[in-house]
Structure formats: structure tokens, C-alpha cells
């Protein structure tokens, strides 16, 4: 074997090893780490529920109920986004919405709406209503709701919001 072929073989072996490692990490189904539990956060489900249920009633849909598991999942996501100062459903390599909410006890199917910057429950719910995809989630075949906010930390920090819709 020539030196060039040997070098190519080693590179290919390294690539395959990395792919195998990445696949193993991505398939890990452990409970999410409580990365943001030290941040403040607040359950806003009771304040959001009448707004969401009024919207659903306008569309002839049954009302939602408070789902404590969805509330836990929403609070976890709001704190996680505030901790990282990043509004995103998926944060980091191997993040998985289904695994994340199931770890909080949410029954699937479920959906999540997120937002950043709104200063009140009314403002965030209306922002979601004015967004076609978020509106579709709120009018979906769900029975449970959890809504939370984390104000984050530091000067000028904007609030991070999460809504989890579930089946209870």
C-alpha cells in the first residue's frame, strides 16, 4: 500500500468513526438536562387559557384545559432559550422536540409555539394568532395547554415565551 492510500484509509476511518459517534449521541434518549433551572420563569397558562379558548370558540373548537406536564415543558423551554439567549425550538446537536416534551410527561402528539420580546401574555398570544403556523397549532387537535415565560437576565434582556399544546 502506498503512503497516499494509507493516508486516505486513515482519513476514511476517522470520518466513519465520527459518523458512528454522532449517530450514537443523536440516538441517546435520556431526559433533558435541567440547564436553566436557576433562571426565573413563570407559569402563564391560567392567563393565556381564556385567550386561546376564545380563539378556539370563534372557530367552533372545544376549549383546552391546563396540562401540568405541558406547563412544565413550556417552562423548561422558556428558561432554556433565556439561558442561551436564543429563540429556537431545537437548540444544540441532537435536540429533539418529541423527546424533550415526553421527558416532561407530555403525551404526543404535541406542538410548540415560541416567541421572544413580548411583554405580556396578551401580546404574545396575539403575536401567535397573527402567525399562520402558530395559529394552526392553537387551532389543532389538542386538549391541553401550558404557557410559560422566562425574563432571562442582564440589561435589556427580552422575555422568552413557550406554549406547549398537548393531548390530555
64's grid cell? 383546552
Find out whether the peptide bond into 109 is cis, omega within 30 degrees of 0. yes
Q: Strand, coil or helix: what is 72?
A: helix
pTM: 0.75
Query: Residue ranges of the chain with pLDDT lower than 70?
Result: 1-38, 86-95, 152-156
Digit-coded pLDDT (tens) for 25-35: 333 333 444 44
Digit-coded pLDDT (tens) for 52-73: 999 999 999 999 999 999 999 9
Phi, psi of 75 (to 5 degrees): -65, -40
Measure the CA angle with vertex 60, ends 106 and 164; round to 5°. 20
Phi, psi of 54 (to 5 degrees): -65, -40
Q: Strand, coil or helix: what is 136?
A: helix
Phi, psi of 118 (to 5 degrees): -70, 140
- According to the model, what pLDDT value does residue 83 have? 80
Amino acid at each position: 500500500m502506498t503512503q497516499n492510500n494509507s493516508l486516505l484509509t486513515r482519513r476514511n476511518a476517522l470520518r466513519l468513526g465520527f459518523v458512528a459517534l454522532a449517530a450514537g449521541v443523536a440516538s441517546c434518549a435520556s431526559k433533558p438536562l435541567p440547564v436553566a433551572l436557576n433562571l426565573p420563569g413563570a407559569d402563564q397558562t391560567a392567563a393565556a387559557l381564556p385567550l386561546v379558548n376564545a380563539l378556539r370558540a370563534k372557530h367552533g373548537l372545544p376549549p383546552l384545559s391546563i396540562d401540568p406536564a405541558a406547563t412544565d415543558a413550556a417552562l423548561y423551554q422558556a428558561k432554556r432559550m433565556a439561558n442561551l439567549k436564543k429563540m429556537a425550538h431545537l437548540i444544540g446537536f441532537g435536540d429533539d422536540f418529541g423527546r424533550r416534551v415526553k421527558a416532561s410527561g407530555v403525551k404526543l402528539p404535541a406542538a410548540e409555539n415560541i416567541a421572544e420580546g413580548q411583554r405580556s401574555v396578551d401580546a404574545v398570544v396575539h403575536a401567535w394568532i397573527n402567525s399562520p403556523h402558530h395559529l394552526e397549532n392553537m387551532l389543532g387537535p389538542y386538549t391541553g395547554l401550558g404557557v410559560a415565560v422566562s425574563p432571562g437576565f442582564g440589561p435589556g434582556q427580552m422575555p422568552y415565551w413557550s406554549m406547549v399544546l398537548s393531548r390530555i
